[in-house]
Chains A and B, each alone.
Chain A
Amino acid sequence: MSRTILVVEDSALIAMAVATELERSGHRVLGPAVANAPALELARKTPPDLALVDIDLQGGDSGAELVRVLHAELGVSSVFVTGQGAEASADIAGALGVLAKPFKLAALRETVVQALAYAEGGEIPATGGRTRWF
């Protein structure tokens, strides 16, 4: 089922690969945005069903802060996609889990499917592979 997914990632290559894969899976991609302000601008215009958020963003922006605001303001849930798994905390409201870089595209696809189900009231998926759920 096609959903709208916000991609927030400051590496153009990684963002492109993620966006291409999501589009190939039939989703609509918002972004990619490289920092908090443009990400919020996109999300306010078209609230996404899910956000995939890196932690270390352009200009020193914190993806953790973005995840909080997305949830508080728009009720959007997020999955961190990051190499800094230790900084992705279950205490951050709106954070469903973390997909650790580097990851296979199959893991990205699976994570998105599980995250959408989880965000819509499903049970916590089983942690495994590169994804840790909160």
Chain B
Amino acid sequence: MNACGGAIAAASKSAPWAGAEAVAEPAPVWLFAPIGRDARLLRDGLAASVADVRIATDATVLRRALSPAGEIGVLVLTQEALNGDVLAVVGDYLELQPPWSELPILLLVDAVGNTARELGRFQAALPRSRTLVLQRPVRISELESAVQTMRRSRLRQYAVRDHVRRQEALRRELNHRVKNILTTVQALHTLSVGEAADLEAFNESFEGRLAAMGEVHQVLYDADYGESDLDGIVEAIVRPYREVGRVTASGATVVLGPEAAQGLGLIVHELATNAVKYGALGGRGGRVSVRWRRTGERFSLAWTERGGPRVRPPERIGYGTRFIDMTMRGYSGDARFDYSPDGAKVVLEAPLATLERQA
């Protein structure tokens, strides 16, 4: 007896829903029907609604199809395929399949009276299988409908798999970022302790730097840790001074990658803190201008202080200067510090490509 019985010729090859609801999932439908032309007849019957139907010629081929590396949409077996080897192959797959997977199996059998023994054996060997049993002869439209329903269910399983993988990737990325943040905060702590004269000075500098990191993080978070505009980063740091008219900031549009956004944000924080302690933002009447521009492939930013106390060059290179210098060198650029008596000026330069890079 053939797999589908005599109904094949009479059945429509284009069921009304076929094609219109074609399943996008590329996972193939595998057939194992070892008797006569059954496999080819089944494949031809499904050809109108399923693009990828493959035939397993023996248990070895079936084992390859069911390997963890392969993807399988639906497994179609005929009653004659249920030998010990095949049951072992399918049983192994069901046993080892991941939690999101429940391989749909379509089993084509003769009238129940003739197949009770085979069915019993199948159910005993594969208690975890999700199997639909159709009795032959099967109309082609019935076969197509069953396979499409099972493929949709399988498609959903693959969607769950992809979701789980994305979640796992996000979890790993989050773990990596948290470790980096903790290490950065630890470094900030170490460096702030190293330069502070006393606990009060440490508290002030450490809290300020941590808060600046928080401000920059918020801007980056709002940009989904992608591109963020330099104007937004500068604004987040100098907002308190800008609001009272002590700082003016403007420049060309420069879209920063996350690393450069954090680096430049912390640099501006160091410059602002220094200006409050020793420069134009300390007393009354001082002003700071922050201007940046693009010149060809280069970026430059000038931090210029005016109207503050008379400036004297620092006696030693402190944390701020070292951090600014090291960060700009990391961007293949540099920082120039000019301590003119009437106001400090710091000019940062770097290739735009380094600052705009996303990775």
A interface residues, Cβ below 8 angstroms from B: 10-18, 20-21, 32, 34, 38, 56, 58-60, 83-84, 100-103, 105
Which B113-169 residues have C-beta < 8 A from chain A?
A: none
CB distance from A33 to the nearest CB of B (A): 8
CB distance from A88 to the nearest CB of B (A): 13
Contact B323–A102 (Cβ < 8 Å): no
Provide the main secondary structure of the chain A interface.
Answer: helix
Q: Does B170 sit within 8 A of A, measured CB to CB?
A: no
List of B residues within 8 angstroms of A83 by Cβ? 175-176, 179-180, 183
Given the interface contacts A83-B180, A101-B179, does A13 sit within 8 Å of B187 by beta carbon?
A: yes
Contact A34–B330 (Cβ < 8 Å): yes
Instruction: Select A102's contact among B175, B183, B266, beta carbons within 8 Å.
Output: B183
List of B residues within 8 angstroms of A34 by Cβ? 330-331
CB distance from B124 to the nearest CB of A (A): 42
Q: Does B359 sit within 8 A of A, measured CB to CB?
A: yes
Instruction: Select B330's contact among A12, A20, A84, A102, beta carbons within 8 Å.
Output: A12
The number of chain B residues with a CB under 8 A from chain A is 26
What are 18 A-B contacts with C-beta separation under 8 Å?
A10-B259, A11-B184, A12-B327, A13-B184, A13-B188, A13-B266, A14-B184, A17-B190, A20-B194, A34-B330, A34-B331, A38-B332, A58-B259, A58-B354, A83-B175, A83-B176, A83-B183, A102-B186
Which B312-359 residues have C-beta < 8 A from chain A?
A: 322-323, 326-327, 330-332, 354, 357, 359
With A and B bound together, what is the CA distance between A21 and B183 in angstroms? 14
List of A residues within 8 angstroms of B357 by Cβ? 58-59
With A and B bound together, what is the CA distance between A99 and B357 in angstroms? 28
CB distance from A11 to the nearest CB of B (A): 6
Instruction: Select A16's contact among B191, B331, B332, B354, beta carbons within 8 Å.
Output: B191
With A and B bound together, what is the CA distance between A101 and B177 in angstroms? 11
Contact B359–A60 (Cβ < 8 Å): yes
Closest 10 CB pairs of A and B: A83-B179, A17-B187, A60-B359, A12-B327, A34-B330, A101-B183, A102-B183, A102-B182, A13-B187, A14-B187
Which B258-275 residues have C-beta < 8 A from chain A?
A: 259, 263, 266
List of A residues within 8 angstroms of B323 by Cβ? 12-13, 16
With A and B bound together, what is the CA distance between A17 and B72 in angstroms? 52
Contact A58–B330 (Cβ < 8 Å): yes
With A and B bound together, what is the CA distance between A13 and B322 in angstroms? 10
Contact A102–B194 (Cβ < 8 Å): no
CB distance from B188 to the nearest CB of A (A): 6
With A and B bound together, what is the CA distance between A32 and B184 in angstroms? 15
Contact A101–B191 (Cβ < 8 Å): no
With A and B bound together, what is the CA distance between A46 and B332 in angstroms? 20
Q: Which residue of B lies closest to A14 (CB)?
A: B187
List of A residues within 8 angstroms of B187 by Cβ? 11, 13-14, 16-18
Q: Which residue of A lies closest to B188 (CB)?
A: A13
CB distance from B353 to the nearest CB of A (A): 9
CB distance from A129 to the nearest CB of B (A): 15
Q: Which residue of A lies closest to B179 (CB)?
A: A83
CB distance from B330 to the nearest CB of A (A): 4
Q: Which residue of A lies closest to B267 (CB)?
A: A12
Q: Which residue of B lies closest to A34 (CB)?
A: B330
Q: Which residue of A lies closest to B187 (CB)?
A: A17
Contact A12–B263 (Cβ < 8 Å): yes
Contact A16–B186 (Cβ < 8 Å): no
List of B residues within 8 angstroms of A100 by Cβ? 179
Contact B180–A101 (Cβ < 8 Å): yes
Kindly name the residue among A59, A100, A103, A105 whose own CB sees the greatest number of chain B CB atoms within 10 A: A59
List of A residues within 8 angstroms of B327 by Cβ? 12
With A and B bound together, what is the CA distance between A17 and B319 in angstroms? 10
Contact B191–A13 (Cβ < 8 Å): yes
With A and B bound together, what is the CA distance between A83 and B182 in angstroms? 10
Contact A103–B183 (Cβ < 8 Å): yes
Given the interface contacts A11-B180, A16-B322, does A59 sit within 8 Å of B359 by beta carbon?
A: yes
